[in-house]
Structures are given as C-alpha cells and as structure tokens.
Amino acid sequence: MTRLASEIEILTEKHLGMTAARVLLYNNYDLTEGSILLFLFDTASSSPFAVLKLSRNRPVLAREYENLQCVHKVCPGLAAAPLFFDQTREFFVLCTAPIAANRLSSYRAKSRKLKLVTRQLAELHTTLRSQSGAATIKSDDYLKPFSGLYDTPLPASVADYYNELAAKHAQSLLQFPLPEISQHGDLYFDNILARGQRIYFLDWEDFGDIKLPGYDLFSLVFDVCNLENGETRLLRRSIDFIAANTVGYFRQLEIPADIVDAIMSYTLVQQYHRSWTLGRTSQEAFATRLVAVAENEQLFKLIARAYRAKR
C-alpha cells in the first residue's frame, strides 16, 4: 500500500498539482466487476478534492472515462467531471471531481425524488436523441436478449412466453421505428446521488450498450418495485404517481403509449439476465431473485394499466 500511495501521489501532483494529506478508501468490489475508490483530502478541507477509481480492467475503466467526457459535454451537471486517466504499476486509475451529494437509501426518499430523476433523464435523452441522427432500433437488437433467456435455467414456459411477446412487439416497432438513444445502462438508485434539487448519476461504464429509449426509466421503476424491502403497500399506493412520471417522460420523447409495453418487456427480460449474472454462484440466490422479478412484473402490469389510463 505504501508503494501505491507513492504512485498515487505522483499522479495527482502530475495531473492536478496537488497531493493528498489523507485518503479514505472504499472497497467497491462486487460479484460482477471490481474497483476500489479512493477519496483524496488536503489538509484544509473536510471534503475530498478528487475521487480515484482503481481497477485492473483497463477497457472497462477507459471506456467509463470516455463516456464521462461525452456526458459531461452534453449535461455537465449530471455526472462527475472526469479529470484524468492514467495508471500505476498495478492499477488503472480514473480520477473525477467529487460530488457533494448523498445516496437515496429509503423507499420514501426514492419515491420523492423519482419525478426529479425522471425529468433529468428526459432532458438527457432528448439531448442525446437530437444528436443521434436518423438511426433507429433494429429488430435484431430488440430480439437478442429474449432468445438469450434459453441460456439461463428458467422454465421453458417463461422463455417461450417472453419470446412470443417479443415477436408481437417487434411488429409494432417496425410500424413505429424507435430512435436510438444511448442509455446509462445500469441505472439503479444505488447509482444516483441527490442534493436538494440536484441529481447526479454514477458508474457510466455501460453507457451506450443499450439504446432503447425508456430503458433507464424502467430500470428505475424496477428498482422502486423491489419487493425485498417489504414495502409493497406503499408501492401500490404510488403506482399512479409512477405512471404519471412515466407518461411525462414518453410524451417529452414523443413515443406512443402502445410502444411502452415493448420497452417494459425488454427491461424485464434484461432483469432476468441480470438476476442470473448476479446469482450465478448460487442457484438458490438466482431463484430468490426470480421471485422478485416475477412479483415486479405484476406491478409493471398495474403501472402499464395506469399509464394507458392517463395518456
């Protein structure tokens, strides 16, 4: 650690003209990808002057740096400002400016901020849409994750059901070609910080992998629908509120309500894939997550019903 501290000191002096008086380390490892966060402080402040993300995976970290540069040009207040990308002997290093905000920890906090988050998403996606030209979602891009369901240990009836839905929605998408709009791709409330009326999104390494408009929004709705928090009753009372925000988002992007079902189904299938990835070390863990996905699907259907009533 002493050698790493010395290398970090050289990098920050080289790029920022500063060195840290103290460092707060946060272990950010999970099942899918690992990184370490370092918060750098000088002697005169209780707030960090920079945040370093260290990883041995160069392509992932380099891509996040490029994505942050892109997003910061489009919506500079939505993401941390990228400061530099470099490397030590052992790690690749992404340095960003700090964000003075907090995570939304409770269901109530998430639901209170959903309208604000939705508005920020719509503004970002509207800007990205204006820059994407005439490119539209191809049927193969839409159908790919559905066929992939057969690669997970799901009942065949589940995969069959979703593939039938996919074929039906693919026809609708041919009649109304959806524009490509790069999505954050991993937008859950753990990746959102808030302070007052300001919203910030974290972890941009998956930006652009999915370009289906609305995917980010429904990822958030899925997160709010997470029944593992035991707040189903609160959620059901909030369905009209969630649906109203959904209506506003798609109206701003000028996407017909009938296409929303296709985006919902796509999002749910991606959640099945995510559940398999996160639970791959334990069939029991995967089965537990699938229960939540299935229950959330019922709530998605209620939200879709309320959405159609409000349009």
Architecture of domain 2-96: 2-Layer Sandwich (3.30)
* 133 vs 140: CA distance, rounded Å: 20
* 227 has pLDDT over 90: no
* 135 vs 113: CA distance, rounded Å: 32
- pLDDT, one tens digit per residue, over 17-57 is 988 888 887 665 444 456 788 899 988 778 899 999 999 89
> Coil, helix or strand for 39?
strand
Confidence (pTM): 0.86
Return the DSSP state at 211. Answer: -
pLDDT, averaged across the chain: 84
Domain ranges of the chain: 2-96, 102-310
Phi, psi of 201 (to 5 degrees): -110, 140
Instruction: Return the minimum-mean-pLDDT range out of 26-40, 74-88, 144-158, 167-181.
Output: 26-40
Structural class in CATH, domain 102-310: alpha beta
Contact in structure between 199 and 117 (CB atoms under 8 Å): yes
Phi, psi of 37 (to 5 degrees): -105, 135
pLDDT band at 95 (very low <50, low <70, confident <90, very high): very high
> From start to end of 60-157, where are the E strands?
82-87, 92-96, 102-103
- Give me the percent of the chain exceeding a pLDDT of 70: 92
Between CA 205 and CA 282, with CA 144 as vertex, the angle to 5 degrees is 70
Query: Which of 196, 181, 220 lies closest to 71 in space, CA to CA?
Result: 181
pLDDT band at 148 (very low <50, low <70, confident <90, very high): confident
